[in-house]
Amino acid sequence: MWTIPLGGLGEFGMNMMALRSGDDIIVVDAGLMFPEQELLGVDIVIPDISYLKQNKRMVRAIVLTHVHEDHIGAIPYILPDLEVPVYGTRFTLAILRKKLEEHGLLDDADLNEVSPGGTTRIGPFEIEYIHVTHSTIDCVALAIRTPVGVIIHTGDFKIDPTPVDGKPFDLHAFARYGQERVLALFSDSTNVERPGFTPSERAVVVRLEELFRAAPKKVVVSCFSSSIHRIQQVVDIALHAGRKVGFVGRSMVDNVEIAHELRKLRIPDGSVVRPQDLKSYEPTRLVVLASGSQAEPLSALSRIAVDNHRLLSIGENDTVILSARIIPGNEKAIFRMIDHLFRRRVLVYYEGGRSAPIHVSGHASQEEMKILLQLVKPKYFIPLHGEYRQLFRHAALAEQMAAVSGEIFLIESGQPIEFTDDGRAYRREPVTAGRVLVDSGSLEEIEEVVVRDRRHLAADGVVVPIIAIDKHTGLLEGSPEIVTRGFLPSEDGAEILNKAREIILRTVEQSSPEEKTDWSVIKEKIRADLKRFLNKQTAKRPLILPVILEV
Ligand SMILES: [Zn+2]
Ligand SMILES: [Zn+2]
């Protein structure tokens, strides 16, 4: 039996792991990653599934732990390649259904609903779904009975003793497996740097209540649209404080609708203000939930911050609460948005500071990780869901306890472990794993080379030499034109461009008659010569795009 992590170990996002026993493979999660800034114009990043494509006839199913994008976001991009059934809890599948519909894939999808406490048999694997608490609803860990022993995959979790929906973390199930013997535990490492316990989702109540009551005018709360617990609490507290609620932003409206339909969100009749009435509604009696907590361009909150939202305007003494983590990488955009709000004299509250929290994490801190290790007492332990330092520290934390009887494996995406019949585990040769870049506008994969071009463009600009060639004689018509953008604004620019023109002339003159009739060769020669020259003169590598005009 092999476990093959294909994403999420040593990187944040795109969680995916394959389990293989004989000729049967199941895949746990298929998430995406939001790109770093340097991947210009790439909208999303998904795991490289070459390994699964090579073994396509063995792949039996994708099993999902929960609804977050870093666990389900890649499905629309990989499902057409794999054509396998998908298993997930009710809310997870409801959101996935919407996604697949948008991609025109719903008709061909085979979606199978599972529930916490239930089991599914897929080939040689028997999977029990164990309810765990996290920042969204309907989350499960997986206890996978394989021919060589039980593997537990926690998914994302924290141990919330007072969950908003009243459904507790199923400590008993983990303890039961611990008593039976667990071969290997794969566990969430996200918050390993935090000591103590992560606060309950309920911890935000005090501060939100205080802010809602004190707010002189309307309140806008922004959180992740999948944070159903948070949305529930905002609704409850708003009603309690004598305010009604409204919803803006596509993902917020969609998720609230889906969760409400599934009865996962309790919104009393008559408590919702219709979108078209928000502008005219009495501000002292209104709380609006808006998507866009990460200041995503064109999101509801980004528009509201510059007072450019169709349904809602904002101004002096309105209150905006960011009830979400400021995700590293998004700080600039978020703080720019917050600045806009302050300029409008809005009262803005965001994470940080000494008061009671307006946001809590959905991932376990050190003490919860220890509890889980102690309950499960696995033979082997493998940290997952984190960057390398987090995996490392999670391994170190497990090392300090006597909970793991065998080895702790610190591995990254692409590094398989084989579990043999005699209950031992070995590292095996890496398989192909990595990132695939997707431009969600075109839904097409982007080659690394495209991104490289974009990086050149952003850093060093573009140079377009335009050469007119007489189609009868093959001779140059006049001096070449050079158009530049984002390159050479300096005073010696003109001189460099003059020299560049000479280089183009020389390159063309020194070419053989055959070369001159083959424009692609001429273009390539000009590109190479100019690149060398410009790099030497300016230490830059602009994108060079020669254009040849026939005259
Ligand atoms: Zn999650
Ligand atoms: Zn996650």
Q: Are strands 244-248 and 286-290 parallel, antiparallel or unpaired?
A: parallel
At 472 the pLDDT is: 73
Ligand minimally distant from the alpha carbon of residue 134: 1
Reduced 3-state DSSP string for 430-444: CCCCCEEEEECCCCE
Query: Is the CB of residue 29 less than 8 Å from the CB of residue 16?
Result: yes
Tokens 């911050």 map to which residue? 305
Asked whether residue 35 carries a pLDDT value surpassing 90, the answer given is no
Q: Which ligand is nearest to the CA of 226?
A: 1
What's the CA gap between 281 and 470, in Å, rounded?
71
Summarised one tens digit per residue, pLDDT across range 182-206 is 999 999 999 999 999 999 999 999 9
Q: pLDDT-derived band of residue 543, with 50, 70 and 90 as boundaries?
A: confident
Measured distance CA(383)–CA(412) in Å, rounded: 9
Band of the pLDDT at 489, cuts 50, 70, 90? Answer: low
Q: Which of 24-33, 224-233, 363-372, 498-507 has the lowest mean pLDDT?
A: 498-507
H/E run at residue 25: strand 24-28
pLDDT at 221 over 60: yes
State in Å: Cα 232 to ligand 2 middle. Answer: 21
Q: Does residue 377 carry a pLDDT above 70? A: yes
Q: Give the ligand at the shortest distance from the Cα of 361.
A: 1
Dihedral, 480, 486, 487, 488 alpha carbons, nearest 10: 100
Going by C-alpha positions, the residue among 205, 283, 201 that lies closest to residue 242 is 283
- Asked if 45 contacts 35 with a C-beta cutoff of 8 angstroms, the reply is yes
Tell how far the Cα of 9 is from the centroid of ligand 1, in angstroms: 15
Contact 247, 339 (CB under 8 A): no
Ligand 1 mean position, distance from CA 2 (Å): 25
* Span 108-131, average pLDDT: 98
Q: Output the CA 152–ligand 2 centroid distance in Å.
A: 16
| DSSP per position, 112-147 | EE--TT-EEEETTEEEEEEEEB-SSSSEEEEEEEET
Count the residues in the chain: 551
| Residue 37, pLDDT score | 57
Question: How many whole angstroms from 311 Cα to the centroid of ligand 2?
Answer: 32
Please report which confidence band the pLDDT of residue 342 belongs to, taking 50, 70 and 90 as the band edges.
very high
Q: What is the pLDDT of residue 540?
A: 81
Q: Which ligand has the shortest distance to the CA of 8?
A: 2
Neighbours of ion ligand 1 (CB under 5 A): 68, 156
Alpha-carbon separation of residue 364 from 154, 199, 370 (angstroms): 11, 9, 10
Nearest to 47 by CA among 62, 61, 30, 64: 30
Which residue type is seen at 506? R
Question: Which ligand sits nearest to residue 16's alpha carbon?
Answer: 2
What is the distance, to the nearest Å, from the Cα of residue 320 to the centroid of all Cα atoms in its chain? 25
The larger pLDDT score, comparing residue 461 to residue 249, is at 249
Instruction: Tell how far the Cα of 50 is from the centroid of ligand 2, in angstroms.
Output: 22
Predicted local confidence at residue 481, as pLDDT: 87
pLDDT of residue 535 exceeding 90, the answer is no
Strand ranges (DSSP E) for 214-349? Answer: 219-222, 244-248, 286-290, 319-322, 347-349
Q: Compute the distance from residue 71 Cα to the ligand 2 centre, in Å.
A: 6
Ligand 1 centre to CA of 157 (Å) is 7
Q: What is the pLDDT of residue 443?
A: 52
**Catalytic choice (170, 188, 318, 460):** 188
Amino acid at 485: R
Identity of the highest mean pLDDT range in 29-38, 63-72, 478-487, 516-525: 63-72
Mean pLDDT across the stretch 509-533?
Answer: 81
pLDDT, position 477: 80
Q: Is the model's pLDDT at 38 over the cut of 70?
A: no
Per-residue pLDDT, averaged over 324-336, amounts to 87
Active site includes 363?
yes
- Provide the pLDDT for residue 448: 67
- Write down the H helix ranges in 216-330: 228-240, 250-261, 300-305
Which ligand places an atom closest to the C-alpha of 67?
1
Residue 494 is predicted with a pLDDT of: 82
Cα(541) to ligand 2 centroid in Å equals 38
Query: Which ligand is located closest to the Cα atom of residue 70?
Result: 2
Distance (Å) from CA 65 to ligand 1 centroid: 9
Q: Which of 418-427, 447-456, 522-531 has the lowest mean pLDDT?
A: 447-456
- pLDDT band, residue 490 (cuts 50/70/90): low
The pLDDT of residue 90 is above 90: yes
pLDDT tens per residue, range 398-446: 999 989 999 999 999 999 999 999 999 999 999 999 988 876 555 556 6
Q: Output the CA torsion sign for 20, 25, 29, 32.
A: positive
Query: Which residues, at least 6 apart from 311, have a Cβ–Cβ distance to it below 8 Å?
Result: 248, 275, 276, 278, 279
- Residue owning tokens 């746990």: 28
Rounded to 5 degrees, φ, ψ at 28 are: -100, 115
Tell me the CA–centroid distance for residue 330 and ligand 1, in Å: 18
**Among 37-41, 289-293, 318-322, 477-481, the least confident range:** 37-41
Ligand 1 geometric centre to CA of 338 (Å): 26
Ligand 1 geometric centre to CA of 135 (Å): 7
Kindly report the average pLDDT of the chain as a whole number. Answer: 91
Active-site residue among 71, 153, 363, 385?
363
Region 349-360 average pLDDT:
83
- Distances, alpha carbon 419 to alpha carbons 20, 103, 142, 156, in Å: 10, 38, 18, 24
Q: How do residues 143-177 score in pLDDT, each as one tens digit?
A: 999 999 999 999 999 999 999 999 999 999 999 99
pLDDT in tens, 306-325: 988 999 999 999 999 999 99
pLDDT at 463 over 90: no
Q: What is the pLDDT of residue 510?
A: 84
- CA–chain centroid gap for 17, Å, is 16
Among residues 308, 227, 262, which one has the least CA distance to residue 93? 262
pLDDT of residue 537: 84
